[in-house]
């Protein structure tokens, strides 16, 4: 199926209120343009340099989301244009995003990436650290960051019950954090190519789909 057809099919299959982030990492500008011409505007990338090059080469009404681990020393390269940093995963990174956003005279939307699996390898805040920072008013001191919600990844497994447990956990994390943020805390970013229908069952408001749209990635 073509990229355009996949975009169309996904759009029809997602309930209203669930947006589609097309994860274009490792795929060339031409593939992104094919999705763009099918009406897609939100794209996710995981590496700063690739994101910068694509931002420069492609239409300026594209909404770029950073979904990969972000090193503090690279925030400055994306701060001028990024629409949403989905991978805000530490206090140190939050402080740097604040600093760079202020320099650009912007307020940058971010999601809190939360580590919800039992896997060591996955990134994201440990829940207790995050809750401590939030309760201590940590984000109140960062006026150029607007926290829009949470992002997370389920365990990579064929055991659907584990995936369900992970999405349930992430939805519970979001619910628990709601009281600390305003009405703009409205995003629950979960679900990828292999598990997005399950994520939607647990209240996902944004699915991040890559290989189903663009095919397998060549790393
Ligand atoms: C690569 C990636 C995706 C997309 O994965 P697919 O399995 O290709 O749909 C989604 N979210 C994050 C954080 C990713 O790194």
* 9 is a domain residue: yes
DSSP 92-109: HHHHHHHHHHHHTT--EE
CA angle 126, 129, 130 (to 5 degrees): 85
pLDDT of residue 87: 98
* 127 is a domain residue: yes
Q: What percent of the chain has pLDDT over 90?
A: 94
Owning domain of residue 127: 3-214
* 205 is a domain residue: yes
pLDDT of residue 130: 97
* 8 is a domain residue: yes
Q: How confident is the model at residue 216 (pLDDT cuts 50, 70, 90)?
A: confident
pLDDT of residue 147: 98
Q: Which atom of ligand 1 is nearest to the CA of 151?
A: 13
Q: Which atom of ligand 1 is nearest to the CA of 196?
A: 9
Q: How far is the CA of 73 from the centre of ligand 1 (A)?
A: 23
DSSP 83: S
* 219 is a domain residue: no
Q: Whose CA is nearest to atom 7 of ligand 1?
A: 193
Among left, alpha and beta (phi > 0; psi -120 to 50; other), residue 17 is: left
**Tens digits of residue pLDDT in 91-142:** 999 999 999 999 999 999 999 999 998 887 778 999 999 999 999 999 999 9
Q: Please state the domain count of the chain.
A: 1
Does residue 4 carry a pLDDT above 90?
Answer: yes
Q: How far is the CA of 106 from the centre of ligand 1 (A)?
A: 27
pLDDT of residue 153: 97
For the domain that residue 43 is a member of, what is the CATH number?
A: 3.20.20.10
Does residue 218 carry a pLDDT above 80?
Answer: no
Q: Is the CB of 24 under 6 A from ligand 1?
A: no
Q: How far is the CA of 63 from the centre of ligand 1 (A)?
A: 17
Our measurement of the distance from residue 70's CA atom to the centroid of its chain's CA atoms, rounded to an integer in Å, reads: 12
* 120 is a domain residue: yes
pLDDT of residue 219: 66
pTM over 0.85: yes
Residue among 111, 210, 214, 219 to mutate when testing ligand 1 (max atoms within 8 A of CB): 210
Q: Whose CA is nearest to atom 6 of ligand 1?
A: 210
């Amino acid at each position: 199926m073509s990229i355009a057809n996949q975009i169309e099919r996904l759009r029809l299959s997602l309930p209203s209120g669930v947006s589609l982030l097309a994860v274009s990492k490792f795929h060339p500008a031409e593939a992104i343009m094919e999705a763009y011409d099918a009406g897609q505007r939100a794209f996710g990338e995981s590496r700063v340099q690739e994101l910068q090059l694509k931002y420069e080469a492609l239409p300026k009404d594209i909404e770029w989301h950073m979904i990969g681990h972000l090193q503090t020393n690279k925030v400055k390269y994306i701060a001028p244009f990024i629409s949403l940093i989905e991978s805000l995963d530490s206090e140190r990174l939050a402080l740097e995003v604040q600093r760079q956003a202020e320099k650009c005279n912007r307020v940058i939307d971010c999601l809190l990436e939360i580590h919800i699996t039992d896997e060591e390898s996955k990134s994201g805040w440990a829940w207790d650290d995050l809750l401590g920072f939030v309760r201590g008013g940590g984000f109140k001191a960062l006026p150029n960051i607007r926290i829009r919600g949470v992002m997370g990844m389920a365990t990579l497994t064929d055991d659907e019950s584990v995936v369900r447990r992970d999405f349930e956990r992430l939805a519970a994390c979001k619910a628990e954090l709601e009281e600390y943020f305003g009405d703009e805390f409205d995003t629950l970013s979960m679900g990828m190519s292999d598990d997005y229908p399950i994520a939607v069952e647990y209240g996902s408001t944004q699915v991040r789909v890559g290989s189903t749209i663009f095919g397998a990635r060549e790393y």
